[in-house]
């Protein structure tokens, strides 16, 4: 308006509103995270238009609309039946809660008071020769906790990250000489921070045989084994889940390395072994695949 004393400015053209952007982000997130497929980036300059409220259909479209509604209803019912039967079926790869052998409660892990993380990172090395003095049950407790211990009681989240929080790893320990613990193979139960007897007696020599006779396996006081149950992760992420399981084994192994260094213990991540032999010696389940062996002992000197 001229001559009224006020000035006006042209506003910038309207862009896709926040709601439509949110929808795009949501859909892309689901493509990437839920289906297990790689996130497909939106094409350059792509915009997502919020459809808003649809206008009422013209009179002639009524029959078509009814047909569409009928089809959707039938499909919905079929969908419901599929979901219902899936819920009835046992969940693929869900962590098993088995209790076979005798269980031993481990001492509570320490969550503070160790060496600074930078110092531990700077001094971590693979150690293959160990002192005679055996580590204690508290040391073993701390190492198992570092590998897969529960740090969020409510959601049962653990020390190491896990794709979709599906926790495909199982941790075993072949004990030879650990104070106050009989020799044998034990499985770690993270939720209870317990170990459960799987095999009785010292299996270190057999385990070393399964690992190309690597001396560190036989000389260690104990050998931690990390196994993966691929189905727990591939059930959600498809074949890509296998790589997630390998990554998680790496996280757990590094946690063990760092915790061992902090405790004055030595370890080395061993990947060279015969899978079937390791499984047999450690009494692992059919669906568990051994990924790492980590001999543990006190550092000499």
Ligand X SMILES: Cc1cc2nc3c(=O)[nH]c(=O)nc-3n(C[C@H](O)[C@H](O)[C@H](O)COP(=O)(O)O)c2cc1C
Tell me: does residue 126 bind ligand X (CB under 6 A).
yes
Among residues 36 and 273, whose Cβ is nearest to ligand X? 273
Q: How far is the CB of 169 from ligand X (least distance, A)?
A: 15
Segment contacting ligand X (CB under 6 A): 15-23, 120-128, 141-149, 219-227?
A: 120-128
d(CA 196, CA 188) in angstroms, rounded, equals 7
Q: How far is the CB of 94 from ligand X (least distance, A)?
A: 28
Segment contacting ligand X (CB under 6 A): 106-114, 152-160, 189-197, 265-273?
A: 265-273
d(CA 207, CA 217) in angstroms, rounded, equals 7
Interface positions, 170-229, toward ligand X (CB under 6 A):
214
Q: How far is the CB of 147 from ligand X (least distance, A)?
A: 16
Among residues 128 and 240, whose Cβ is nearest to ligand X? 128
Residue whose C-beta lies closest to ligand X: 271
Tell me: does residue 125 bind ligand X (CB under 6 A).
yes
Among residues 124 and 193, whose Cβ is nearest to ligand X? 124
CA dihedral of residues 18, 20, 21, 23 (deg, nearest 10):
120
Q: How far is the CB of 176 from ligand X (least distance, A)?
A: 18
- Number of amino acids touching ligand X (CB under 6 A): 9
Q: How far is the CB of 272 from ligand X (least distance, A)?
A: 3
Q: Candidates 108, 110, 271, 280: give the one binding ligand X (CB under 6 A).
A: 271
Tell me: does residue 121 bind ligand X (CB under 6 A).
no
Q: How far is the CB of 178 from ligand X (least distance, A)?
A: 22
Segment contacting ligand X (CB under 6 A): 19-27, 68-76, 99-107, 266-274?
A: 266-274
Q: Candidates 43, 60, 272, 301: give the one binding ligand X (CB under 6 A).
A: 272
Contact positions vs ligand X (CB under 6 A): 125-126, 128, 214, 268-272
């Amino acid at each position: 308006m001229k001559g009224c004393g006020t000035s006006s400015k042209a506003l910038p053209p309207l862009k896709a509103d926040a709601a439509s952007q949110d929808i795009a982000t949501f859909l892309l997130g689901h493509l990437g995270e839920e289906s297990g497929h790689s996130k497909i980036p939106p094409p350059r300059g792509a915009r997502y238009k919020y459809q808003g409220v649809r206008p009422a259909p013209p009179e002639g479209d009524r029959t078509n609309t009814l047909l569409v509604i009928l089809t959707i209803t039938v499909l919905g019912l079929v969908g419901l039946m599929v979901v219902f039967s899936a819920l009835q079926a046992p969940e693929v790869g869900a962590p098993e809660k088995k209790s076979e052998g005798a269980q031993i409660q481990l001492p509570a892990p320490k969550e503070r008071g160790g060496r600074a993380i930078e110092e531990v990172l700077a001094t971590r090395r693979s150690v293959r020769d160990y002192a005679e003095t055996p580590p204690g049950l508290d040391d073993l407790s701390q190492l198992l906790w570092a590998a897969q211990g529960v740090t969020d009681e409510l959601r049962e989240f653990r020390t190491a990250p896990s794709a979709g929080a599906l926790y495909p790893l199982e941790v075993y320990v072949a004990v030879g000489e650990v104070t106050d613990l009989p020799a044998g193979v034990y499985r770690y139960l993270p939720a209870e921070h317990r170990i459960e007897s799987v095999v009785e007696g010292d299996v270190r020599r057999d385990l070393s045989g399964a690992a190309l006779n690597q001396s560190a396996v036989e000389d260690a006081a104990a050998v931690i084994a990390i196994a993966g149950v691929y189905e727990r992760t591939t059930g959600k992420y498809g074949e890509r889940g296998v790589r997630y399981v390998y990554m998680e084994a790496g996280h757990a192994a590094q946690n063990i390395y760092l915790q061992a260094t902090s405790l004055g213990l030595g370890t080395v991540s061993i990947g060279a072994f015969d899978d079937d032999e390791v499984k047999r010696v450690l009494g692992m389940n059919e669906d568990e695949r051994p990924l790492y062996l980590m001999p543990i002992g006190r550092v000499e000197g």
